[in-house]
């Protein structure tokens, strides 16, 4: 405790009443501290709701509430307590009990502290919506808050990420000047978590995009929202290398005990084994790997607190898991990516069906504390888009590469031409680790026309849609050779395509595909004049793990009059409020208008 060298080994909330003992997470009970190896209660004589607020915050709960004192009085009168000889005096905005002042010292009689006419202090906490206790572990929907003003992006685990704030319909970041635990705790509580475990500076959880909305935030710690705190709207001298982030205290849900990785070379990889109930007993078993992908692997790594997924494996014969756990106990798993536990994803339940069986075909993952995050430069697309009528004679290579609409095969080589909508793609890696292709060199494909290897056959989708979201031009799936074209001042280039070089995009670098190279277009020869939506999706099959997939879509409004094309309002997915986004689209579901093949 502050100002005094009084230390305790641990602190907990111990459920006392039967109704709370069965529940996860524990939201009400005695506050106990571990002192010299023994758990001791705290006398409630000087205990305040402010103290309760701090304790609740430490355990991942945004606020405290009143409880039924009579039941606890009755309970306390029947038992002998062991009291800790001190109490605490918190002001309520501390992120941790260790920042509170020391309260009154208890009377001591014969070595034991007494609490005259009092009883052990009890806290009762209000959990955030995503953590509302359930007495059984049934399905729970992935939590979606209504129109929040604040969000966390790019964090590996629940309750951590870069802080982004909604102002004037646009999401932006927060500059880290004066960023501290008190302000960070306001963000955490606002999002339904507890107080902040860590206030992170220097864009350590990845750089954001767009405006920097707030700077020099100064909160008292009792605000309902970080937007109610004092702050400076001027962010001169701030850039995205100073984006503030946070790690919040999150309730102990016990999810990590329902899952394990087995047989890997290190604790970050292995075959996924889950604890499932079969005929009334709990038994470990494997997960069917059919359609197992990076999205499901992300949920596993998050559930175990191991960060992001780096790979999802459909065969795991090279990892010798626990033989007694070879049976498949979970199949048909399909996650949206926001779940906190694999059990919350859609799956077949007790009717397990897995033709290929478990064992060597059990699903596997490897996890990593960091991940890349690719973002397309939307402004550049808007600035560089133009039309070109290109003679068929110069498009033979592109025809072989399937970069033209299917009607191109009937176009005369000598006199025909195709109308191409051309533009430049500049793809930045704003994450915390390099973006590397999924396939090793042995699986890269040589493109004879362009004289280099492509490490990813489907790296982007280019599409032109009508305002109902239906494709009007046969866009194409561009395959890429990935390299560092340019980097920020202090970053060294590492990857280049020439001479069968290593491929990838370094953190802080970008890969530029100029408008004048082959296939950097959509063939719109057969498209009538009208208003359209132009859309680019990077890494569309989630082949490579990223910390944030929501910013992989870039869309623009476009108007074509038969001769000219105009592009406007180009922006990255997730950069505007839902309301603004809906006005833009006129329909919902830009990215989900095609039947999922997963």
pLDDT band at 361 (very low <50, low <70, confident <90, very high): confident
CA atoms within 13 A on the CB side of 174: 34
Q: Three-class SS of residue 529?
A: coil
Nearest to 349 by CA among 374, 361, 332, 372: 332
- Architecture of the CATH domain 255-368: Roll (3.10)
What pLDDT score was predicted for residue 189?
95
Q: Three-class SS of residue 35?
A: strand
When mean pLDDT is compared across 228-232, 479-483, 485-489, 511-515, the lowest value belongs to 479-483
pLDDT band at 277 (very low <50, low <70, confident <90, very high): confident
pLDDT band at 560 (very low <50, low <70, confident <90, very high): very high
> Of all residues in the chain, what percent carry a pLDDT higher than 90?
49
What pLDDT score was predicted for residue 161?
94
pLDDT band at 344 (very low <50, low <70, confident <90, very high): very high
What CA–CA distance (Å, rounded) separates 523 from 402?
Answer: 11
What pLDDT score was predicted for residue 146?
58
Residue with tokens 């005369």: 412
What pLDDT score was predicted for residue 451?
66
What CA–CA distance (Å, rounded) separates 265 from 66?
Answer: 49
> Of all residues in the chain, what percent carry a pLDDT higher than 70?
91
What pLDDT score was predicted for residue 137?
43
pLDDT band at 595 (very low <50, low <70, confident <90, very high): very low
Q: Three-class SS of residue 2?
A: coil
Given this chain, do its domains 10-126 and 150-249 carry the same CATH topology?
yes
What pLDDT score was predicted for residue 139?
45
> CB within 8 A of 64, min separation 6: which ones?
49, 52, 53, 55, 56, 123, 124, 125, 126
Q: What is the pTM of this model?
A: 0.85
Cα dihedral value 280, 252, 139, 133, nearest 10 = 100
What pLDDT score was predicted for residue 588?
42
What CA–CA distance (Å, rounded) separates 313 from 289?
Answer: 8
Residue 522 bridge partners (DSSP): 421
Over residues 128-148, the pLDDT tens digits come to 988 887 544 444 455 555 568
Q: Can you tell me the mean pLDDT for 387-400?
A: 88
What pLDDT score was predicted for residue 165?
94
What pLDDT score was predicted for residue 450?
64
What pLDDT score was predicted for residue 98?
86
Report whether pLDDT(38) > 70: yes
- Tokens matching residue 255: 């999810």
Domain ranges of the chain: 10-126, 150-249, 255-368, 374-586
Over residues 171-220, the pLDDT tens digits come to 999 999 999 999 999 999 999 999 999 999 998 898 888 899 999 999 99
When mean pLDDT is compared across 36-45, 244-253, 527-536, the lowest value belongs to 36-45
What pLDDT score was predicted for residue 561?
93
pLDDT band at 580 (very low <50, low <70, confident <90, very high): confident
CA atoms within 13 A on the CB side of 490: 1
What pLDDT score was predicted for residue 288?
93
Report whether pLDDT(307) > 80: yes
What's the whole-number average pLDDT of the chain? 86
Q: Can you tell me the mean pLDDT for 494-499?
A: 83
Report whether pLDDT(293) > 90: yes
pLDDT band at 402 (very low <50, low <70, confident <90, very high): confident
Over residues 212-226, the pLDDT tens digits come to 999 999 999 999 999
Element (H, E) at 56: helix 49-58
Is it true that domain 10-126 has CATH number 1.10.260.40? no
What CA–CA distance (Å, rounded) separates 312 from 297?
Answer: 6
What pLDDT score was predicted for residue 79?
80
Nearest to 545 by CA among 307, 239, 385: 307
Q: Can you tell me the mean pLDDT for 373-381?
A: 93
Over residues 71-114, the pLDDT tens digits come to 998 888 888 888 888 888 999 999 988 888 887 777 665 556 67
Q: What is the CATH number of domain 150-249?
A: 3.10.250.10
> Do 170 and 211 touch, CB atoms closer than 8 A?
yes
Q: Can you tell me the mean pLDDT for 5-17?
A: 82
What pLDDT score was predicted for residue 250?
94
What pLDDT score was predicted for residue 4?
54
- Tokens matching residue 149: 């003003």
pLDDT band at 52 (very low <50, low <70, confident <90, very high): very high
Buried b / exposed e over 542-558, threshold 16 CB at 10 Å, is: bbbbbbbbebbbbbbbb
Please give the angle made by the CA atoms of 491, 493 and 499, to the nearest 5 degrees. Answer: 175
CA atoms within 13 A on the CB side of 79: 12
């Amino acid at each position: 405790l502050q100002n005094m060298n009084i230390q305790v080994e641990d602190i907990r909330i111990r459920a006392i009443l039967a109704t709370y003992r069965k529940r996860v997470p524990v939201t009400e009970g005695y506050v106990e501290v571990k002192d010299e190896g023994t758990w001791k209660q705290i006398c409630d004589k000087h205990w305040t709701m402010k103290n309760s607020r701090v304790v609740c915050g430490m355990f991942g709960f945004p606020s405290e509430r009143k409880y039924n004192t009579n039941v606890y009085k009755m309970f306390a009168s029947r038992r002998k307590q062991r009291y800790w000889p001190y109490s605490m005096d918190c002001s309520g905005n501390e992120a941790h009990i260790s920042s509170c002042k020391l309260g009154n010292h208890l009377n001591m009689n014969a070595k034991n502290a007494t609490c005259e006419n009092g009883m052990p202090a009890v806290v009762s906490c209000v959990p955030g919506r995503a953590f509302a206790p359930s007495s059984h572990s049934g399905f729970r929907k992935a939590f979606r808050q209504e129109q929040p003003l604040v969000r966390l992006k790019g964090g590996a685990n629940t309750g951590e990420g870069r802080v982004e704030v909604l102002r004037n319909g646009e999401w932006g970041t927060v500059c880290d000047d004066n960023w501290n635990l008190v302000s960070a705790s306001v963000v955490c509580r606002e999002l339904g978590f507890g107080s902040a475990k860590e206030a992170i500076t220097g864009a350590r959880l990845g750089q954001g995009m767009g405006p920097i909305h707030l700077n020099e935030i100064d909160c008292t710690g009792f605000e309902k929202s970080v937007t109610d705190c004092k702050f400076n709207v001027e962010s001169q001298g701030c850039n995205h290398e100073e984006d503030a982030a946070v790690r919040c205290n999150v309730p102990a849900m016990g999810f990590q005990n329902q899952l394990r990785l087995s047989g890997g070379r290190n604790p970050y990889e292995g075959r996924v084994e889950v604890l499932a109930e079969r005929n009334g007993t709990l038994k470990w078993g494997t997960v069917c790997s059919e359609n197992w992908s990076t999205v499901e692997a992300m949920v596993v790594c998050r559930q175990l607190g191991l960060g992001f997924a780096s790979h999802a494996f459909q065969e795991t014969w090279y990892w010798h898991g626990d033989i007694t756990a070879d049976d498949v106990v979970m199949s048909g798993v399909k996650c949206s990516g926001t779940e906190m536990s694999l059990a919350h994803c859609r799956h077949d339940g007790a009717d397990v069906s897995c033709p290929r069986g478990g064992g060597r075909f059990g699903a596997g993952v490897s996890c990593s504390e960091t991940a890349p995050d690719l973002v397309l430069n939307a402004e550049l697309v808007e600035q560089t888009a133009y039309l070109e009528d290109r003679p068929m004679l110069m498009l033979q290579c592109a025809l072989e590469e399937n970069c033209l609409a299917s009607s191109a095969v009937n176009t005369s080589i000598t006199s025909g031409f195709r109308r191409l909508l051309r533009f430049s793609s500049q793809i930045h890696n704003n994450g915390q680790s390099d973006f590397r292709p999924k396939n090793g060199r042995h699986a890269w494909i040589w493109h004879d026309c362009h004289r280099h290897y492509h490490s990813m056959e489907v790296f982007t989708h280019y599409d032109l849609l009508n305002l109902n979201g239906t494709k009007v031009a046969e866009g194409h799936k561009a395959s890429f050779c990935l390299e560092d074209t340019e980097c920020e001042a202090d970053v060294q280039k590492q990857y280049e395509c020439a001479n069968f070089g290593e491929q990838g995009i370094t953190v802080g670098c970008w890969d530029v595909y100029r408008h004048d190279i082959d296939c950097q277009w959509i063939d719109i020869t057969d498209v009538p004049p009208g208003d359209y939506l132009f859309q680019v999706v990077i890494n569309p099959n989630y082949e490579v793990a990223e910390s944030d997939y929501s910013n992989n879509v870039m869309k623009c409004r476009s108007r074509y009059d038969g001769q000219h094309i105009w592009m406007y309002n180009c922006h990255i997915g997730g950069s505007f409020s839902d309301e603004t986004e809906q006005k833009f689209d006129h329909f919902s579901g830009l990215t989900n208008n095609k039947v999922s093949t997963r």
